[in-house]
Amino acid sequence: MRTAMIFSDELARFDYGKDHPFKPVRAQKTLELCERYNLLNTAENLVLPPDTASRDDLLCFHTPEYVEALERVDQGRFEPEMLAYGLGRDDNPLLPDLFRWCLGSVGGTLTALRLLGEGYQRTLHLLGGGHHAGPARAEGFCYVNDACIAILKALERGMDRIAYVDIDAHHGNGVQEAFYTEDKVLVVSLHETGKTLYPWGGFETELGEGKGRGYNVNLPLEPGTDDEVYEEAFERIVVPLLQTFQPQLVVAQIGADTLISDPLTHLRLTNNAYRAVVRKLVHAAPRLLALGGGGYDVYRTARCWTLAWCEMSGLEPEDHYAGLVGGMMFGPEMEMGSLHDRPFRSQGEAKEMARKEADRVCAFLEEHLFPLWSLG
């Protein structure tokens, strides 16, 4: 299997601001871990630079007025009407070289898509995954929706069975809205329930409309959901849907903010479940385009993404520095002496509520969604 990681040091150094939780440097930390564990630059697994997207690439999904507003930010201009586009708010501040960052982020995702047509089976772009952005709005740290742009480009190239699977803790609302009436794109999102977390939606009753009915699937999960509950829900709903749909391409947003240590969310996963779910996506995808997305515990996110790369590349980490003074690279590895977290299970009322709600959501989908797919 030929696998490529798309990486740009310039994009990884982009700074949202000292107090902003979104840190593109996570991609650099992931690359360092992959290098440390001998997971890169074999004959079949390469790190490649991104192409730069064009203005027209952004216009594939975003409105001309919105793209022009992004361009004006790079010119150092602020106009009050930018606030109507979500620009200049706390989650999406006005930043130097913002338009250049957007072109680079989308360019990396389109590079990953291009390589899938040139003999690569799996590609990873950690500086993409802007699943909240809409055609004329920035929100949730996302200025451009590179996932939507990639899917639209794939549709233009003749694909008619594309699965988008989102395991970020936040609902992928921008992607859902884009394809809510589309039957060529199966959109699946597992996330913390909108009752307790932004963007306050993504409920199981949102099944798509028109010809897209049955092609939009949400699994909202309660705070306290652990590895066991999460994996059971994924196996119960997502696996049979992917097996039935038989996608030509899977676009996966693999945000790592489901972790128990994440400061913005309330799920309680370890990277053991995270790796297991990525493994299932790899097995379900004839071609896989994976995007970074969220993850606000920087070093644990880097560990998650390193394990995701292991699954995509078919390699296992080899630590040539184990046992040496100064051998541990950083922070969380010291807990276990490896990339993996200690196993964890929620207890008591939190576990009971998480399991009860996951069972209810899965039962609803089995009753109202599965018949649309002739699943029993």
Beta strands in 231-314 (DSSP E): 249-253, 288-291
Q: Catalytic pick from 62, 131, 132, 170?
A: 132
Chain centre to alpha carbon of residue 339: 20
CA distance linking residue 101 with residue 96, whole number of Å: 9
Beta strands in the chain (DSSP E): 3-6, 45-48, 122-125, 162-166, 185-192, 216-221, 249-253, 288-291
Q: How far is CA 340 from CA 273, 301, 334, in A?
A: 10, 12, 11
Chain centre to alpha carbon of residue 171: 10
Closest of 42, 101, 52, 126 to residue 308, by C-alpha: 126
- Would residue 132 show up in a list of annotated catalytic residues for this protein? yes
Q: How far is CA 371 from CA 74, 81, 161, 214, 365, in A?
A: 50, 46, 19, 9, 9
Query: What are the residue numbers of the active site?
Result: 132
